[in-house]
Amino acid sequence: MNIIICENLSVAFSKTPVLKDLSFTVDEGDYLCIVGENGSGKSTLIKCLLGLIAPDTGHIVTEKSLFNHIGYLPQQTTIQKDFPATVFEVVLSGFLNDLNGRLFYTKAHKEKAKEMLSLFGISDIKNKSYRTLSGGQQQRVLLARAMCSTKRLLLLDEPEAGLDPLAVRDLYATLRKLNREHGITIIMVSHSLNEAVREANKVLHLGEDCSFFFGTSKEYEKSEFGKRFLGGQKND
Amino acid sequence: MTDIFNAFLSYSFLRNALIVGTLVSLCCALLGVSLVLKRYSMIGDGLSHVGFGAMSIALALNLAPLYVAIPVVIISAFLLLKINEKSRLFGDSAIALISTSSVAIGVMIVSMTKGMTTDISNYMFGSILVMTKADVILSIVLSLLVLVLFVLFYNRIFAITFDESFAKATGTNTNLFNSFIAILTAITIVLGMRMMGAMLISSLIIFPALSSLKVCKSFGAVIVLSAVISAISFICGLFMSFTLDSPTGATVVVSNLVVYLLFCLIAKIRKN
């Protein structure tokens, strides 16, 4: 079942097209990987999906409830690196979209946040300060927070950035588990083509001059896009 | 000691200074944590300079300073926030430009109309004698309002300070909340700058936050400790300025500095 339908999406910034006639669909339980060079419009697409920018033409169709319940994992900022907040404070802030005019988090929110901590194996560092954690632990905390604001869809923006190889492998394993065992739909922007394509079942490749490829991972490997980029990486 | 204390409390202007100053210090401390963490502390400094310009104009035109300065500084707060968002690279230069221009215009206007009087020096470096009774009441009401609003929106302020893109993506109107913080900061700065001085008020925003950042590991703790540090530093500073007969604003800043250095030392010792 389609949960997101993106049709003929076009976005331009001061008359320079960033996305043009982009169409793709996301089904419940999909693991979609969005790849492409810098400046190919990945961040713009993410912003469209989050409803932060309205496309010039074309449209994105989703259920209304989905829009407000996307679990989003943005890129880490420099501000966060030395931010004084405990793991629990950060995870709990994932319920921000569930406050609905209330001023403070409820007991149920706190219980649910604790469940998320144990799901990601970070219960033991609940009261530790975020800034003292390793990159991999920080990413788990942000994932737990993202999972607080969603039951169905995770949107990740280059989650492997700045992680060491071991932490990256760990991250992929966690995402696989969320996707396969918990049925969470995942949309991930990624830089590491080979791993991402191996993990995902669908690939959206944004290329030069607003060209794009959308299809399953198997189709991607056989396509011109896939041959050029995956092949290129293997020779490195 | 009790004699000095009784003498201290027997002056009504000192009592007013104690009440208004403590409240403003609390406001500065709470907002300061968010501003410092978001790397917006220069905005606080910029606003106080704009406030100085506005107060000079009010003085020249014989208007009530607070009623002129509060709206002008709120508008500038919006402006500075926008500049900071739009041009990350030159944001700090733009703020410096606006603050020095405001001070320059303020000094020019005052020297052309009334000459460089003690009033100007008071606005620059603060004085606890300049507040009228109406000012005191307005300051108390507004600073209580700032405190209550901050506590009510604490969770949202935390989320926006920690991760603006996440907050935005989950449907929080971050622009609205940034403006909200800017307005609260503008009000707080105008209220505090008459006592602390335009040149010194931003220290109340920066010092308590930086001191508590040295030792705390949670956001909640940083907020509470900043408030405590700020209030204690202010009260000690005011008391010292009374006993040493030194300018209040400067003495409060020095008292904040001492606390900051103390916390640096504590953090160093803890590390070893």
Taking residues B12-16, report their average pLDDT: 85
Q: Is the pLDDT of residue B267 over 60?
A: yes
pLDDT tens profile B63-101: 888 889 999 999 999 888 888 777 666 777 888 888 899
CA gyration radius, chain A: 18
| Chain A residues within 8 A of B150 when measuring between CB atoms | none
Residue A231, exposed/middle/buried by CB under 10 A (0-12, 13-18, 19+)?
exposed
Using CA atoms, how far apart are residues B86 and B245, in angstroms rounded to an integer? 46
Q: Are B205 and B32 in contact (CB under 8 A)?
A: yes
3-class state of residue A26 by DSSP: strand
pLDDT tens profile A200-212: 889 898 887 778 8
For each of the domains in chain B, give its residue range(s) and CATH number, in order of start: 2-265 (1.10.3470.10)
- Across chain B, mean pLDDT equals 88
Interface list for chain A against chain B, based on CB atoms closer than 8 Å = 50, 52, 67-68, 70, 72-75, 77, 79-80, 83-86, 89-90, 93-94, 96-97, 99, 103-105, 127-129, 132, 145-146, 149, 155
Q: Is the pLDDT of residue A186 over 60?
A: yes
* Structure confidence at residue B61 (pLDDT): 85
- φ, ψ of residue B67 to 5 degrees: the values are -70, -25
Q: Are B204 and B252 in contact (CB under 8 A)?
A: yes
Given CB atoms, is B171 within the 8 Å cutoff of chain A? yes
Q: Worst-scoring range by mean pLDDT, A29-38, A147-156, A227-236, B144-153? A: A227-236
3-class state of residue B39 by DSSP: coil
Most confident of A128-142, A181-195, B255-269: B255-269
For B8, the token pair is 């201290």
Which neighbouring-strand residues pair with A16?
A13
* Residue from B80, B43, B31, B161 nearest A77 by CA: B161
* Structure confidence at residue A231 (pLDDT): 66
* Structure confidence at residue A236 (pLDDT): 41
Q: Are A175 and A199 in contact (CB under 8 A)?
A: yes
Using CA atoms, how far apart are residues A204 and A221, in angstroms rounded to an integer? 12
Using CA atoms, how far apart are residues A202 and A164, in angstroms rounded to an integer? 25
Three-state secondary structure along B205-222?
Answer: HHHHHHHHHHHCCCHHHH
Report if pTM > 0.90: no
Taking residues A223-229, report their average pLDDT: 78
Quick one: pLDDT band at residue A235, thresholds 50, 70, 90? very low
pLDDT tens profile B112-168: 886 666 677 778 888 877 777 887 888 899 889 989 999 999 999 999 999 988 888
Quick one: pLDDT band at residue B198, thresholds 50, 70, 90? confident
Q: Hey, how many other C-beta atoms are within 10 angstroms of the C-beta on B90?
A: 13
C-beta atoms of A97 and B172 within 8 A: yes
* Structure confidence at residue A234 (pLDDT): 45
pLDDT tens profile B46-60: 999 999 999 888 888
Q: Which residues have CB under 8 Å from B26's CB, separation 6+?
A: B143, B147, B227, B230, B231
CA gyration radius, chain B: 18
Higher pLDDT, B252 or B138: B252
Q: Is the pLDDT of residue A97 over 90?
A: no
Given CB atoms, is B267 within the 8 Å cutoff of chain A? no
